[in-house]
Amino acid sequence: MRGHLVTVVLAALSVVLIIFLVPVLILIRRDADSRVALTAMQQAAVLVPLAHAVPPPNLSTHAEHGFAVSIVTSDGRVLGVPTSPSPSIQTALRSCATSTGRVADGVEVLVPVRTGPGCDSVVRVQASDETTGAESALLTVLSLTLSAAAVLVAVLLAERLARGLLRSVADLAAGADRMAAGDLSARVTPAGPAEIRRVGDQLNHLAIRVDHLLDERSQRSADLTHRLRTPLTALRLDIDAIPDSPATQRLLADYDTLSKAVTEVIRTARRAGEIPSRQRCELTEVARERIAFWDVLAEDTGRRIGQDLPAEPIPVQASRADLEATFDALLSNVFAHTGHGVPLWVTVAAARRGGALVTVDDAGPGFPDLDVVRRGRSSTASTGLGLDIARQTATESGGNLRLGRSPRGGARVQLHLGRPVDDPVPRWSVVSGH
């Protein structure tokens, strides 16, 4: 922006100076011609009374440096500096009138010498272009120097103005970046022109308003979720009233999982609007645990969960709770949208530049629309939030989520989870398939 502003100022000033300098230089040249012609006229006026008394060799002593003096008689004789009887000289002899004009190599002044009723000779004084140029050189150099100084001053002022504007805009952008990153406590100190100060004030008001709305939403979400505590407590009492058996142990395990999920929802709602923490977690262990959890339901529905998990740990930038919620969302989607007996496969592999690739394939009908990842969108009775949970986890870790068709003809969900920020980028990594 600074360069653009300086360029615009420089271009505008250059146009103004060109428009101004051209007529000024023309006027300087004309003024120099006029002053030289006046000097030549004075020289000729001095020689007119002496035209017949001054010997030809002495004519040069009556002329200043840079002026050529000649006397041309009516019979064609030329005294002094040789010159040809030009039409202008013939006209001056006939009309006995003084004249000034520009010739090929300078300025010419003709003053006739009267003798009786007519003119028998003409005093010619010529100033060369060098003489005229010397007269105008000083003013020309002065004009060009002043123009260059004006350009320099304008560039310096434009640079200073641009620096001030850029400082204000940079502060504004820095504050906006902090707010965009989730730091809604960031504020901009309005500075600079009135328009930029107004934008800064509005940006501060926007941050305050968004912070207030997020706080209201998180409080409301947390309060609504907290109401689940009462039916959960009643459910636990009912389970405790059942005689101990394998089914009771499974109900207790399901209750513990549901209770942890509700607790995590409340905690997540409370910290809505905060900057996501840079946590790291070992992905392989979480994947193995969640597959084992869902494998029980898979047996009840006649499914088989194939898994291809690496033996070595793969660290990713995500919390354990987010990874568990992501695997639960991806696997529950398969159970919810495919029929009994439809198998699925889970693959976890290290990514080439760190992080991991999680792929969930099934042999069901596939996605009717690849835009189902849009939050809240679903073609069935579900909430449509499952894939968005996975997408948000991947995005916050620095990765992404992609949908496609699996080799078995069903749906494929591929999740790229970013590496922890403190881990170096690996030179290479083998991505396993299935």
Residue 47 burial class via C-beta count within 10 angstroms: exposed 0-12, middle 13-18, buried 19 and up: buried
Split at pLDDT 50, 70, 90, the class of 361 is: very high
**pLDDT tens per residue across span 314-331:** 999 998 888 988 998 899
Output the pLDDT for position 285. Answer: 93
* Pick from 232, 272, 266: nearest CA to 252: 232
Q: Give dist(CA 92, CA 119) in Å, integer.
A: 9
Q: Give dist(CA 76, CA 122) in Å, integer.
A: 11
Q: What angle do CA 396, 402, 408 make, to 5 degrees?
A: 140
The residue type of 68 is: A
Non-local (6+) Cβ contacts of 110 within 8 A are 44, 88, 89, 92, 98, 99, 100, 122, 123, 124
Output the pLDDT for position 375. Answer: 43
Split at pLDDT 50, 70, 90, the class of 376 is: very low
Residue 312 burial class via C-beta count within 10 angstroms: exposed 0-12, middle 13-18, buried 19 and up: exposed
Strand partners, 127: 67, 107
Q: Is the Cβ–Cβ distance between 290 and 261 less than 8 Å?
A: no
Q: Give dist(CA 46, CA 67) in Å, integer.
A: 14
Q: Give dist(CA 32, CA 106) in Å, integer.
A: 12
* Pick from 229, 213, 318, 214: nearest CA to 265: 229
Q: Give dist(CA 101, CA 157) in Å, integer.
A: 47
* Pick from 115, 119, 129, 121: nearest CA to 68: 129
Diameter of the chain by CA atoms? 156
- Is the pLDDT at 208 greater than 60? The verdict is yes
Output the pLDDT for position 86. Answer: 79
- Is the pLDDT at 378 greater than 70? The verdict is no
Split at pLDDT 50, 70, 90, the class of 373 is: low
Give kind and range of the element (H or E) at residue 89.
helix 87-95
**How many other C-beta atoms can be found within 10 angstroms of the C-beta atom of residue 23?**
9
Output the pLDDT for position 248. Answer: 84
Residue 406's SS3 state is coil
Q: Is the Cβ–Cβ distance between 401 and 413 less than 8 Å?
A: yes
Strand partners, 281: 316
Q: Residue 96 has what DSSP assignment?
A: -
Output the pLDDT for position 327. Answer: 92
- How many residues make up the chain in this entry? 434
Residue 412's SS3 state is strand
Output the pLDDT for position 412. Answer: 92
Whose structure tokens read 């689940």? Answer: 228
Q: What values do phi and psi take at 234, rounded to 5?
A: -65, -35
Strand 344-350 relative to strand 67-73: parallel, antiparallel, unpaired? unpaired
Output the pLDDT for position 1. Answer: 56
Q: Give dist(CA 423, CA 278) in Å, integer.
A: 12
Work out the mean pLDDT of the chain and round it to a whole number.
77
DSSP string, 196-262: HHHHHHHHHHHHHHHHHHHHHHHHHHHHHHHTTHHHHHHHHHHHHTSPPSHHHHHHHHHHHHHHHHH
Split at pLDDT 50, 70, 90, the class of 429 is: very low
Q: Give dist(CA 280, CA 319) in Å, integer.
A: 6
For the whole model, what pTM was predicted? Answer: 0.45
- Residue 322, CA distances (Å) to 181, 228, 238, 328, 423 in order: 19, 20, 30, 10, 20
